[in-house]
């Protein structure tokens, strides 16, 4: 029994839909820019991947008013994903047999900040009663279910930057356990509010602005000048089904989620990661073995590529741990997210969507801003421009987060 | 002051269209107002008209006309709470 992907929806800094995201990534076009959503001049990082999405133009005004931007991005991306899969809940699939899995980290701070300001300046009666339901990380999940009339299993995964990968795994497991016939799984993040951005800054994971680099040059995975991530907002959702269900309804199959592996570092200090890469390597190996393949069968690795020096180096160690150094050195490794920003809860779903396109088109998008390899990175990095990969049948997507949360996905063409 | 037009203006601020606000439109069934949105509407009316509406009485609102009648009654009587 296998799990396949039959639809993709995306709202990202590259635009709306998977096509602009793929085109931008393949060409290595930087989408990161100076923040104009709010005054970020006092922040250490004043660059981000911002989505040009006008909720008021796409969604009913009363819905927009009572929900946060992360719900807006999610609901719109899910609409696209279902349309792409040619699924209408209640028609091609019963509402009770449709599920939703969402990865998110921060919650909806744009809404919450506005209402907290009302609380402190005008008192409790000035706070929107929707504060209670707008901010928390499960809000997109609930609103997606309401909007689409979904009545099956629904869950939200909060596992730091691995949240979106956990959501895809949760979707696959729900399908394999026959809890649903269709699952919409993905992730979302909308960190571009003054407080949300401050949280990202105090995490210590963000790249600090430097006078010598433009905003679009700050995010530098595996590069000698790496100094952390530049984050972005977005939502990416995949429609997943058991293969026989997809084939029975004549769906177009975009690829298969053939394996996955999770592990937790359990390492102190918890804000960093286990230094040898052994624990992350175990998640990589588990994902590969579950798919019934060997490390040498992997055609590409979509690395987590946070640009945090210690994480970049240990990600390389993990690939060597998982597959042996001789194999690890031969795997093409890329981190195209440096072009559009680390989308946090949506990062792994974005990588999975790009990996499916890369295998279909036989070309690997480059890691943007990788000019001079950092010391200690012994990998075959895809840099500069896209690389042909005609025979790429399997892609490993690596995702990890604070506290040593590791989640790896193995996608098959 | 045209109280009804002012109630309409307040509800337009909450995202409703003037055309859908007729006296017999039911709040839940026709206007899709849930209990949370009703709280929002009632607080907006309180702030706009400078009145106080007893939260316990809000469950008695069934139609848009009930909201207009409530505000009209409070303003004309000069009382500050419905049901008190």
pLDDT at A129: 93
pLDDT of residue A196: 96
Q: Does A267 contact B at CB distance below 8 Å?
A: no
CB-CB contact of B40 with A130 (8 Å): yes
Which residues on chain A are in Cβ contact (under 8 Å) with B14?
62, 65
> What DSSP assignment string belongs to B2-63?
-HHHHHHHHHHHTT--GGG--TT-BTTTTT---HHHHHHHHHHHHHHHT----GGGGGG--B
Work out the angle at residue A351's Cα, subtended by the Cα atoms of residues A157 and A274, and round it to the nearest 5 degrees.
65
What is the average pLDDT across A88-108?
A: 98
Average pLDDT in the A207-229 region?
A: 96
Whether residue A18 contacts residue A88, with contact meaning beta carbons closer than 8 Å, is answered with: no
Residues in B touching A62 (Cβ below 8 Å): 14-16, 37
Residue with tokens 């994903």: A81
Task: Report d(CA A354, CA A25) in Å as an integer.
Answer: 8
Residues 6+ apart with CB under 8 A from B76: none
Q: Give the mean pLDDT of chain B.
A: 87
User: Looking at CA atoms only, how far is residue B58 from chain A in angstroms?
Assistant: 15
In chain B, residues with a C-beta closer than 8 Å to the C-beta of A65 are: 14-15
Determine the average pLDDT of the residues in A184-210. Answer: 96
pLDDT at B82: 47
Q: What is the C-alpha to C-alpha distance for residues A344 and A229, in angstroms, rounded to an integer? A: 10
Beta strands at A98-103 and A182-189: parallel, antiparallel or unpaired: parallel
The pLDDT, as a whole number, for residue B84 is 39
Percent with pLDDT over 90 in chain A: 98
pLDDT at A249 over 70: yes
pLDDT at residue number B83: 42
- Write the CA distances from B8 to A142, A271, B18, B19, B68, integer angstroms: 30, 53, 6, 10, 9
Closest to A109 measured CA to CA, from A197, A233, A196: A196
Q: Strands A15-16, A3-12: parallel, antiparallel or unpaired by DSSP?
A: antiparallel
Nearest CA in chain A to B12: A62
Mean per-residue pLDDT of chain A: 97
Q: What is the ipTM of this complex?
A: 0.82
Average pLDDT over residues A395-409: 96
- 8 A C-beta contact, residue A177 and residue A20: no
Q: Is A245 a residue whose pLDDT tops 80? A: yes
- Contact at CB, A66 and B37, closer than 8 angstroms: yes
Q: Tell me: the pLDDT tens digits for A328-387?
A: 999 999 999 999 999 999 999 999 999 999 999 999 999 999 999 999 999 999 999 999
What tokens were used for A208? 């600090």
Q: Specify the pLDDT at position A271.
A: 86
What DSSP letter does each residue of A390-408 carry, written as one string?
A: TT--EEEEEEEETTTEEEE
A177 touches chain B (CB under 8 A): no
Instruction: Give the residue on B whose Cα is nearest the Cα of A63.
Output: B15
Q: Is the dihedral of CA A261, A265, A266, A271 positive or negative?
A: negative
> ω into residue A269 within 30 of 0, thus cis?
yes
Q: Which residues of B touch A128 (CB under 8 A)?
A: 40
DSSP-assigned states of every residue in A37-97:
SS--TTSS--EEB-----HHHHS-HHHHHHS-HHHHHHHHHHHHHHHHHT--BTTTB-GGG
- Counting as low any pLDDT under 70, the low residues of chain B are 1, 55, 57-59, 79-84
């Amino acid at each position: 029994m296998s799990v396949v992907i039959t639809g993709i929806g995306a709202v990202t800094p590259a635009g709306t839909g998977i096509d602009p995201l793929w085109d931008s990534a393949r060409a290595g076009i930087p989408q990161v820019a100076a923040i104009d959503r709010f005054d970020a001049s006092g922040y250490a990082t004043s660059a981000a991947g911002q989505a040009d999405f006008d909720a008021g133009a796409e969604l009913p005004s009363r819905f927009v008013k009572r929900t946060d931007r992360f719900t807006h991005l999610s609901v719109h991306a899910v609409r696209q994903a279902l349309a792409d899969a040619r699924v209408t809940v209640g028609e091609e699939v019963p509402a009770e047999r449709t599920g939703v899995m969402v990865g998110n980290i921060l919650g909806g701070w744009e809404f919450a900040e506005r209402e907290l300001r009302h609380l402190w300046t005008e008192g409790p009666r000035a706070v929107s009663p929707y504060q209670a339901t707008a901010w928390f990380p499960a809000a997109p999940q609930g609103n997606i279910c309401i909007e689409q009339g979904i009545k099956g299993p629904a869950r939200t995964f909060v596992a730091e930057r691995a949240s979106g990968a956990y959501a895809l795994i949760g979707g696959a497991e729900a399908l394999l356990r026959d809890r649903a016939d269709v699952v919409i799984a993905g992730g979302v993040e909308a960190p571009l509010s003054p407080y949300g951005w401050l949280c990202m800054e105090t995490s210590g994971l963000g790249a600090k602005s430097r006078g010598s680099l433009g905003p679009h040059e700050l995010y530098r995975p595996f590069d000698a000048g790496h100094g952390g991530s530049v984050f972005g907002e977005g939502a990416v959702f995949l429609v997943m089904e058991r293969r026989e269900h997809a084939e029975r309804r004549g769906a177009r199959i975009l690829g298969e989620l053939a394996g996955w592996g999770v592990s937790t570092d359990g390492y102190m200090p918890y804000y960093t990661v286990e230094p040898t890469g052994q624990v992350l390597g175990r998640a990589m190996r588990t994902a590969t073995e579950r798919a019934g393949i060997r490390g040498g069968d992997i055609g590409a690795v979509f690395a987590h590529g946070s640009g945090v020096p210690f994480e970049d180096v240990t990600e390389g160690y993990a690939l060597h741990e998982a597959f042996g150094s001789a194999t690890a050195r031969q795997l093409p490794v890329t981190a195209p997210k440096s072009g559009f920003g680390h989308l946090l809860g949506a990062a792994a779903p974005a990588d999975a969507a790009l990996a499916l396109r890369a295998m279909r088109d036989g070309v690997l998008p480059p890691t943007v801003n990788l000019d001079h390899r950092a010391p200690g990175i012994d990998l075959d990095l895809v840099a500069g421009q896209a690389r042909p990969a005609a025979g790429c049948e399997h892609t490993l997507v690596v995702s990890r987060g604070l506290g040593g949360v590791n989640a790896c996905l193995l996608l098959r063409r | 002051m045209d109280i009804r037009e002012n109630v309409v203006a307040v509800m337009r601020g909450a995202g409703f269209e003037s055309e859908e606000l007729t006296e017999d439109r039911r709040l839940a069934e026709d206007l899709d107002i849930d209990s949370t949105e009703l709280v929002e509407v009632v607080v907006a009316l309180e702030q706009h008209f400078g009145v106080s509406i007893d939260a316990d009485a809000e469950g008695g609102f069934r139609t848009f006309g009930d909201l207009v009648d409530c505000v009209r009654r409070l303003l004309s009587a000069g009382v500050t709470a419905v049901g008190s």
